[in-house]
Amino acid sequence: MERAIAELRERGNATPAEFDQAEVNACIDRLSVTTFLRHGRYINRVAKMLHALNIIEENPFSSICNWSNDAEKALRSTRASRRRDVWDDKIFALFNSAVYQGGCEDPGEPLFWAPLIARFEGMREEEILQLGVDDFGVEDGIDYVSIHDGGKNRVKSEAAIRKIPVHPALVKLGLLDLVALRRAQGQSRLFPHLPRGETKGTFTEVFTKRFGYYRKTNNCYWPGRDFHSFRTTVNGDLMNSTCKDSIRRRLMGHEPLDAGEKHYAQGLKISTLYEDICKIEVDISMIKSPFDKGKTETEMNASTAGLRLVASNG
């Protein structure tokens, strides 16, 4: 911070707002408390082992990298709380970035699909990233995605096990084409090239960092608007619509209020859920589908209309 302040003073014409911003920038967390503690404890364990093997005379980290429960709680309490914001019109900066404008080498690029699925389906990050081709099905003529805990899949709770109708916007952009492609390739997962993290064994561990880096390097990064914010936004969309709270909780995978609602939710028809998922509206006209040679939704609609016109004239 001192260096930034000094540079502003040397410039001579800096405004008070610029000095304030320099202080804010200097206070941005570079490392979470969890990561800080994990690295510190790892160093302490290594030094402890070296001391036990008589390779070093004493463990230099025994006091500085050894936190009690109270010390850990104090560290966490000093971290400024971060308010999660919804993705408002700033989402269009994301939709106008490279991967949404024909920049996908793989039509199944997770950076393209995962945010879109989150924005239209309201699914949790890990629920999306672990999707397999067999998780997609059809019921009463409506395409759906199934979230479950079979195999290596993980869910947050029993309430998270559910079926969600596939939003028509995702169908239009080619999500079901991706499912068909992965099946043809003999791949079991929708994102087969995405690895699990080494620490937690989750896809989220890896993808969260990639998504953060992508946003920062493509001018669509704002603190408070992260991947989970898509889910927060969908929840708000449903609350602002005529969607019943019981159906909203079912779509979001939230715990039912009571046993009666839990029993009722099990009997909800996919068509009922589809009506409410369609209430989520986001403009995707600027997005170029990786399955339509880089055409935007507007261009795809124009092409389709043209084909229909030719067919009707014939």
pLDDT value for 293: 56
Q: Which tens digit of pLDDT belongs to each residue from 85-129?
A: 899 999 999 999 999 999 998 999 999 999 999 999 999 999 999
Q: Which tens digit of pLDDT belongs to each residue from 56-79?
A: 999 999 888 888 888 888 877 766
**If pLDDT is split at 50, 70 and 90, which confidence band does 300 have?**
low
Question: Strand order in 142-147's β-sheet?
Answer: 136-139, 142-147, 162-165
- Please write down the HEC assignment for all residues of the chain: CHHHHHHHHHHCCCCHHHHHHHHHHHCCCCCCHHHHHHHHHHHHHHHHHHHHCCCCCCCCCCCCCCCCHHHHHHHHHHCCCCCCCCCCCCHHHHHCCHHHECCCCCCCCHHHHHHHHHHHHCCCHHHHHCCEHHHEEEECCEEEEEECCCCCCCCCCHHHCEEEECCHHHHHHCHHHHHHHHHHCCCCECCCCCCCCCCCCCHHHHHHHHHHHHHHHCCCCCCCCCCHHHHHHHHHHHHHCCCCHHHHHHHHCCCCCCHHHHHHHHCCCHHHHHHHHCCCCCCCCCCECCCCCCCEHHHHHHHHHHHHHHHHHC
State whether CATH 1.10.443 applies to domain 91-303. Answer: yes
What is the mean pLDDT of the segment spanning 156-173? 93
Distance CA(146)–CA(157), nearest Å, equals 14
Q: In terms of Cα–Cα distance, which of 99, 108, 87, 110 is closest to 203?
A: 110
Distance CA(223)–CA(229), nearest Å, equals 11
Q: Is 28 exposed, middle or buried (0-12, 13-18, 19+ CB in 10 A)?
A: exposed
**How is the chain split into domains, by residue range?**
2-78, 91-303
The more confident residue out of 36 and 80 is: 36
pTM for the model stands at 0.74
Q: What is the mean pLDDT of the chain?
A: 87
Q: What is the CA radius of gyration of the chain?
A: 24
Q: Which tens digit of pLDDT belongs to each residue from 12-38?
A: 888 888 777 777 666 655 667 888 888
Q: Which tens digit of pLDDT belongs to each residue from 222-246?
A: 988 999 999 999 999 999 999 999 9
